[in-house]
Amino acid sequence: MLAVANQKGGVAKTTSVHSLGVALAEKGRTVLLVDLDPQACLTYSVGIEPSSLDTSLHDVFVRGAKVDDVRWNVDGVGGNGGSGAMDIVPSTIDLAGSEVHLLGKTGREHMLKRALAGVEDEYDYIMIDCPPSLGVLTINGLTAAEEVLIPLQCEALSHRGVGQLLETIEDVRQFANAQLKVRGVIATMYDERLRHAREVIAEVRERYGLEVLDPPVRKSVRFAEAPARSRSILQHASTSPGAAAYRQLAEVIDADRRPVDG
């Protein structure tokens, strides 16, 4: 189970979750996406209009609904022969109210983990799109996850919040999830022509001792176009450098686990 987290907005968290999910499904893996952000951008990006939903992750947190009752299959995603598949637990703006509800609950940081326990064995990967904050929803994502991926925009000041995120991760290890590991950083919006972009990556490695996964994901207008078409960049611009980068990153992530058929 992978949480994708960074409290800074606009660093391609949702893009990374969606793109990696599709890339893994293309490889024949079964993937569940969890939209933990009240803005519901991941939900919208896969072709679901959040305002049209009768149930969502909010109902799991507040009304005791089962994940199985609110998840949706994402059409048109899968590997050769149809062996891969991708589902999503969608979000709506109502999820913002879940934060208030969770604050009054005992064991609130474990709510998502308990909810996903009923479906965890059905998937090779569960990927959690955390909101751009370090509040109770993100804490739930980190508590449920085995590993954290940190998308990092390769621009000025973008890495300043990494230290605070790492402190939060350490707190989660101490009090809720001792097994949580940082899998690495995904360098996003990368422009190889800029020395500063290379310096940002080098500083993250040196200051925080984090692995920066290869390859970096280059800037492209294709990333902005894809969600409007309810598609990932792998579907919208399959041969683009951005699509190739996420396929390679999926290979790196997938290499860490035992093959499904092995």
**Residue 83: predicted pLDDT:** 63
C-alpha torsion 152→153→158→160, nearest 10: 10
Whether residue 215 has a cis bond before it, omega within 30° of 0: yes
**Residue 76: predicted pLDDT:** 76
Tell me how crowded residue 208 is: count the other CB atoms within 10 A of its CB: 16
pLDDT in tens, 196-212: 888 888 988 999 999 99
pLDDT in tens, 116-155: 999 999 999 999 999 999 999 999 999 999 999 999 988 7
175 CB burial (10 A radius; 0-12, 13-18, 19+):
exposed
Tokens standing for 83?
Answer: 């062996």
Outline where DSSP puts E strands in the chain: 2-4, 30-35, 72-73, 85-89, 125-129, 147-153, 181-188, 212-213
Task: Report whether 136 contacts 102 (CB < 8 A).
Answer: yes
240 φ, ψ to 5°? -75, 160
pLDDT in tens, 28-71: 999 999 999 999 999 999 999 999 999 999 999 999 999 999 99
**2-254 has which CATH code?**
3.40.50.300
